[in-house]
Chains A and B, each alone.
Chain A
Amino acid sequence: MLQIVDVSARYGKTQVLWDVDLVVNQGEIVALVGSNGSGKTTLLKAICGLLPLSSGRVEFLGRRIDGLPPHAVVDQGISQVPEGGRLFPDMSVRENLEMGAYPSQAWGRRKETLEKVFQVFPILKERQRQLAKTLSGGERQMLAMGRALMSGPRLCLLDEPSYGLAPLLIAEVFRIVRGLRDAGVTVLLIEQNVKHTLETADRAYVLESGRVSLEGKCCDLLQTDYVRKAYLGL
């Protein structure tokens, strides 16, 4: 579904991604893990058109999407929970969700989609009139996820959706991510929470200093000494 081939990217003169290859197949949850500053968010920016590639290509459903502006990438059916959520602080919860349905195909169906999203996130229904900036941290993450679903995406990119949440809520986030897959949404999941992630995802890539250092089925990775030592502390 999503194919990242030999992608390199830089901020000004500093190169951050080096020849990254990554594939996400339809219906999978693919995890991207790696330490702070390894380039996970940068790779997401390269996929969604926020950062131009210095080489390589990105294909979605067989079509090249690198070089497209971000809004055109969204129109292809790719939505995301950006790092930190990036809600619209002075808009209500409901308006934030409506913004998620901005693409013209989704806008007409936004009322039905809203009801579906409210079923997944009942708290958002309760809070729908509240301004996003007044939400608690957990509610914000829920809103960011709900908003990413409003366009009816085929592929959802999640950048640390469980960041800063209490253990109970983290488990809830992972439950929702599995629910996405069950609902037919393909997921590329960036996470710091390696144990939970490897237990949830189908396959995973480990990024180190902008290079893919390890990849494979999650069940296999969980067994490797390297992952157990470096990321699980076992």
Chain B
Amino acid sequence: METFLGVVIGGLLIGGLYALIAMGLSLQYGVARVLNVSHGEFIMLGALTTWSLYTAFHINPLLSLAVCGPAAFALGYVLHRTVYRRILATSPSPGVFESNSLLASFGLLFVIQNVALIAWGANTRGYSYLAVPVSLFGVLFGANQLLTLGCALVVGVAFYVFLARTRVGKAIRAAAQDSTSAALMGVNINSVLALCFGFGAALAAIAGMLISMCYPVTPVMGIPYTIIAMIVVVLGGLGSIPGSFLGGLVLGLIGSLVTYIEPSLTLVAYYLIFALLLLVKPTGIMGR
């Protein structure tokens, strides 16, 4: 029983991070139609910035949220306004836009990664913050990990409420469901898409900040997270933001279970789920 609880809680701990990351990608891919393979680079930037602020200035990792979040938002917003909007304007069809924007985000991946390598070097970094064991149902967890889950849930729920209740949030959901119709209601689609891109980047950076509290960080840490985010977005249903959040928790639980049985098979299990999903229910658990 204790091991079972341990596996479940462990799954939620990592799943909370997946949920945030996937929610971010869901905004960029599900709404703005950019399969942003540089998503993980924003996670990396958030993580390394938090590491720098902590080690150089002793700034509490949670406070670096105030830096990473807005900075990543601005970067994502400007990127959409400049790069992706131009690609959108020159693409004759949605299919062409998807492939061209994918290529552009590949380029971006390498640019950001190399800039980070110059800025931070290739070494693996880490710091110790709240790394004290806490006993939960008889199983030991790091306090930093529990804090991570708490933060992920708060950010996830706050964002969900923003989407559900506010005028801009509703416009984002409307644009995800039918962007032409949203435009006919008076929604400025280009700014909504840029907002989505900005929020996606901000969520990635926040996730990176949380990851840096528990795991080692390097300039090349991003890609595995990008892949996980893609799997979760498909798992949760393309364009469904609550679906991405749930999907993240589900994938975390599965990962935790597989890790418990055979740690080396975790990634294999993720790919297997991905492949099965594409074959059986490509619309995802909450997809249309």
Contacts and interface: CB of A to CB of B under 8 A. Distances in A.
Contact of B189 (A71, A79, A89, A90): A71
Interface stretch (B74-82, B117-125, B176-184): B176-184
A70 B179 CA distance: 11
Given A86-B180, A89-B288, A102-B167, A147 B174 contact: no
Contacts of A74: 184-186
A75 B186 contact: yes
B185 A102 contact: yes
B206 interface: no
Interface residues of B, number: 20
B183 A98 contact: no
Given A50-B180, A71-B183, A88 B188 contact: no
Contacts of A218: none
B183 A100 contact: no
Given A82-B181, A88-B178, A90-B177, A103 B170 contact: no
- Chain B facing A: main interface SS: helix
Contacts of B189: 69-71
B186 A69 contact: no
A158 B128 CA distance: 63
Interface residues of A, number: 25
A82 B184 contact: yes
A218 B279 CA distance: 56
A9 B167 CA distance: 34
A71 B170 CA distance: 15
Nearest to A81: B184
B171 interface: yes
B186 A86 contact: no
Interface of A: 48, 50, 69-71, 74-75, 79-80, 82, 86-91, 95, 98-100, 102-103, 107, 147, 151
Interface of B: 167, 170-171, 173-174, 177-178, 180-190, 240, 288
Closest 9 interchain pairs by CB?
A74-B186, A86-B181, A70-B183, A103-B186, A102-B186, A88-B177, A71-B188, A102-B185, A99-B185
12 contacts: A50-B184, A70-B180, A71-B189, A74-B184, A74-B186, A79-B184, A82-B180, A86-B181, A88-B181, A90-B177, A99-B170, A103-B186
